[in-house]
Chain A
């Protein structure tokens, strides 16, 4: 076989394998890479970078890990002074703001194609997290999500055989789980919802607690912002969804009033509550406690679609000074493609992330693990992104949830007040973006 023939065969094989993109062949470049994976995820990231450098002799990635907050404060100055790193990881709550302010550059379809990055290999809403006004700005590398932890032992004791997936099932199961200190059930005469011994579901007053309200609103066909990106979380769909959650406390007595995340976490660990909705990041903790628990997708509280909140991190290319080396950009795209391949993403799940693509979720490694209970619906996880003023929207939204949940205000009044505050602030923020 001649050399040229063997090369053709090799190329054909690569094409069949789906990796038919032009590998970076330019001169040797060094890329700076800024990321905020500074915790237990740091060694995993460093291992991946080492692997990349070892397999890409003409691209050297020099990574710098620093706390996320530092990055958000430094990035504008770095970009403005023309000293931006070549690749930066930006999280879902910050990304649209940086896009709208022009800190990151769009990834064109041609570029993505040339680098071999196929949008379709990721979960749709996850990839769209870094989209703005019809263009893509980042590729997802890491993902966390809101899930429902459930206590198998308590459910069994209360005679619940099925993990609830609908509003009616959730309410029925939550009622079955609830008993007051005198042993009475909801609906029985003398039932005291203020002194619960066990209860159905954990609701609580902080921002994590408010993400369940976000899921419920999305499930009902509502949203945080409307098409003009003004706050809209007081739509009839939103009010209806949040009202159901507040009713779990006020009407049905199957959740505790005025509770905190710590208190509910402790209660769930002690087997006092059946369903604990929260971030999947508590997985390690429950596994470490040897609890008999499962993980399910957030039950369908709304009438339109499945949905849960998710957070994510995206590899982005910051805006560079004029005359920036085009080879570096090509090499950076190659790095992004490699880092977000199924093999690397599978490694990355060791750091506590959820799979970013179905190809990884289907891996045998996850069979029988509690977390795989949500994998089927990973495509229904939505970040709070797409609008540049996340602070102006989420602050008032979280406050509105706290006011509604604590019963300080009616649901409608709390959401109306939140929207009014958010829109006043958005009106000011718009001036900055002109």
Chain B
């Protein structure tokens, strides 16, 4: 689709001065951006280079000490920060394919004119309006070691021993991942439904005349034409997954043994429980850098796609 703007009248006289009006329009946002983004980020960087406490009389410059701590294996920060980064990466790796695959599957099912379509669309979309604490408590209860529904089914219906999901390393991820998919899949599904609606039926009619199977139609028509929306869903889901915080906090509190502690959760602990603000600031910058690299890579892929190189 090409956007054609009404052609502006050619200027009568070429002005050498840059036009002022666009900048005036940008000014309010620029001011907010400076005050609420640039300044805090800069101040945060200053904090990370000093031994900083609002109440301290001196805030000595310590250079990169807090960054070095993150790479010195003998410090708790190095141990727990990279542990929480690994946890976050693991969560992203597991949950993103599920969140995209499930969303696409549901969208394909609910795009067809089946009975109760609107009802099911609502059913899958509605969990997304819950707050993270409600969602977290719900899934914590579902997977509770003793009273959870999952274990009740195991013991009472299947006659299997109960599994202590919440206190077993590794298994504790199950309620977090399943809960997150249940909670957020509706949003991606809605995006896919909208994209499916934009695919012209004529492609499918032509394919049917050629005798294409359902799989072939999906493989050669639906999937390629969903490309741009898949990329969008991929980028936003990866970024959202990296920001994992509330789910692990409510469902497992980061346990057992910090195996489900997310990066943001550890940074919060370091800042507000340990009162090590400079250390937390340094971690935030390292974390931010990793996110930036990811976003950069994704933008590269998106740009390639936009040029039709993918």
Is A402's CB under 8 angstroms from B167's CB? Answer: yes
Of chain B, the residue at the smallest CB distance from A399 is B257
Chain A residues closer than 8 Å to B74, beta-carbon distance: 424
Chain B residue nearest to A80 in the complex (CB):
B54
Interface footprint category on A: 35 or more
Instruction: Confirm or deny: A220 has a beta carbon within 8 angstroms of a beta carbon on chain B.
Output: no
The answer to whether B56 touches A263, judged by C-beta atoms less than 8 angstroms apart, is no
Q: How far is the CA of A399 from the CA of B144 in the complex (A)?
A: 19
Q: Does B75 sit at the interface, judged by CB under 8 A?
A: yes
Nearest B residue to A425, CB-CB = B76
Cα distance A107–B258 in the bound complex, in angstroms: 40
The 8 closest A-B pairs by CB, nearest first: A263-B146, A391-B273, A76-B54, A258-B164, A101-B55, A391-B274, A80-B54, A263-B147
Residue among B53, B141, B161, B167 having the largest count of chain A Cβ atoms under 10 Å: B167
A14: which B residues are within 8 A, CB to CB?
Answer: none
Apart from A97-B275, A101-B275: 16 A-B pairs, beta carbons within 8 A: A260-B167, A262-B141, A263-B144, A263-B146, A391-B275, A392-B274, A399-B258, A402-B167, A403-B257, A406-B167, A406-B256, A408-B257, A425-B76, A432-B51, A432-B53, A432-B56
Residues of B within 8 A of A (CB): 51, 53-56, 74-76, 140-141, 144-147, 161, 164, 166-167, 253, 255-258, 269, 272-276, 279
| In contact, B53 and A101 (Cβ under 8 angstroms) | yes
In the bound complex, how far is the Cα of B258 from the Cα of A205, in angstroms?
A: 13
| Docked complex Cα distance between A259 and B253 (Å) | 15
Asked if A260 and B146 make an inter-chain contact with CB atoms under 8 angstroms apart, the answer reads yes
Q: Give Cα A97 to B277, complex, Å.
A: 14
Contact between B256 and A408 (Cβ–Cβ < 8 Å)?
yes
Q: Which residue of chain A has the shortest Cβ distance to B161 in the bound complex?
A: A194
By a CB distance below 8 angstroms, the chain A residues around B55 are: 76, 79-80, 101-103
Contact between B257 and A256, CB atoms less than 8 A apart:
no
Among residues of A, the one whose C-beta sits closest to the C-beta of B271 is: A73
Instruction: Tell me the bound Cα distance from A176 to B121 in angstroms.
Output: 54
Inter-chain CA distance A71–B249, complex, in Å, is 21
In contact, A424 and B167 (Cβ under 8 angstroms): no
Q: Is A22 an interface residue (CB 8 A)?
A: no
Give the nearest-CB partner of A266 in chain B: B147
Q: List 13 A-B contacts (CB under 8 A).
A: A80-B55, A103-B55, A194-B161, A257-B164, A262-B147, A263-B147, A389-B275, A402-B255, A403-B257, A406-B256, A424-B75, A428-B276, A429-B274
A72 to B273, CA, bound (A): 10
In the complex, which of the residues A97, A260, A402, A429 has the most CB atoms of chain B within 10 Å of its own CB atom?
A260
A73 CA to B74 CA, complexed, in Å: 30
From residue B25, how far is it (CB to closest CB) to chain A in Å? 34
Complex Cα distance A56/B257, Å? 53
Contact status of A77 and B273, CB under 8 A, knowing A263-B144, A403-B257: no
The CA-CA distance from A428 to B53 in the complex, in Å, is 13
Give A263-305 interface residues, CB cut-off 8 Å to B.
263-264, 266-267
Tell me the bound Cα distance from A128 to B269 in angstroms: 27
State whether A76 touches B256 (Cβ < 8 A): no
Q: With contacts defined as CB atoms under 8 Å apart, how many contacts are there between chain A and chain B in the complex?
A: 92
Per the 8 Å Cβ criterion, residues 72-130 of A in contact with B are: 72-73, 76-77, 79-80, 97, 101-103
**Residues of B contacting A101 with CB < 8 Å?**
53, 55-56, 275
Determine the chain A residues whose CB is within 8 A of the CB of B269 once the complex forms.
391, 395
Most central of A103, A257, A259, A432 by chain B CB within 10 Å? A432
Q: How far is the CA of A205 from the CA of B276 in the complex (A)?
A: 27
Q: B274 — nearest CB in chain A belongs to which residue?
A: A391
B76 touching A429 by the CB < 8 A rule? no
B275: A residues at CB distance < 8 A:
97, 101, 389, 391, 429, 432
Q: Within 8 Å CB of B279, what residues of A?
A: 428
Which residue in chain A gives the minimum CB-CB distance to B79?
A421
Whether B255 and A399, one on each chain, are in contact in the complex, defined by CB atoms closer than 8 angstroms, is yes
Query: Which residues of B lie under 8 Å from residue A165 when comparing CB positions?
Result: none
Chain A residues with Cβ below 8 Å from B75 are 424, 428
Does B276 lie within 8 Å of A432, measured CB to CB? yes
State how many angstroms separate the Cβ of B270 from the closest Cβ of chain A: 9
Q: Residue A206 at the B interface, CB < 8 A?
A: yes
Chain A residue nearest in CB terms to B275 = A97
Cα of A392 to Cα of B166 in the assembled complex, Å = 24
When the two chains form the complex, which single residue of B53, B161, B256 contacts A402, counting CB atoms closer than 8 Å? Answer: B256
Closest partner residue, chain A, to B140 (CB atom): A262
For B167, give its contact among A73, A205, A429 (CB under 8 Å): A205
Q: Write out the residue numbers on chain B whose beta carbons fall within 8 Å of the beta carbon of A97.
A: 275
| Minimum CB distance partner of B55 in chain A | A101
- Separation in Å of the B153 CB from the closest CB of chain A? 16
B54 and A429 form a contact (CB under 8 A): no
Cβ A256 vs Cβ B276 within 8 A: no
Smallest CB–CB gap between B303 and chain A, Å?
40
Please name the residue on chain B nearest to A93 by beta carbon.
B273
**Would you call A263 and B145 a contact (CB within 8 A)?**
yes
Give Cα A226–Cα B97 distance, bound, in whole angstroms: 50
Q: Does A431 contact B (CB under 8 A)?
A: yes
The reply to whether B76 and A260 contact each other, CB–CB distance below 8 Å, is no
Q: How far is the CA of A165 from the CA of B141 in the complex (A)?
A: 33
- Cα A431 to Cα B66 in complex, Å, equals 13
Q: Can you name the residue of chain A whose Cβ is closest to the Cβ of B52?
A: A432
Q: Are B76 and A421 in contact (CB under 8 A)?
A: yes
Task: State A395–B161 Cα separation when bound (angstroms).
Answer: 31
CB-CB nearest in chain B for A206: B253
Chain A residues lying within 8 Å of B56, measured Cβ to Cβ, are 101, 432
- Report the minimal beta-carbon distance from A267 to chain B, rounded to whole angstroms: 7
> Smallest Cβ distance from A408 to chain B, in angstroms?
7
Q: How far is the CA of A428 from the CA of B166 in the complex (A)?
A: 32
What residues of B have a CB within 8 angstroms of the CB of A402 in the complex?
Answer: 167, 255-257
Complex-state Cα separation, A173 to B56, whole angstroms? 53
Chain A residue with the shortest CB-CB distance to B163: A258
* B55–chain A nearest beta-carbon distance, Å: 4
Q: What are the residues of chain B within 8 A of A267 when measuring CB–CB? A: 146-147
Docked pose: A222 CA to B166 CA in angstroms = 30
With a CB–CB cut-off of 8 A, which chain A residues contact B53? 76, 101, 432
Contacts of B144 in A (CB 8 A): 260, 262-263
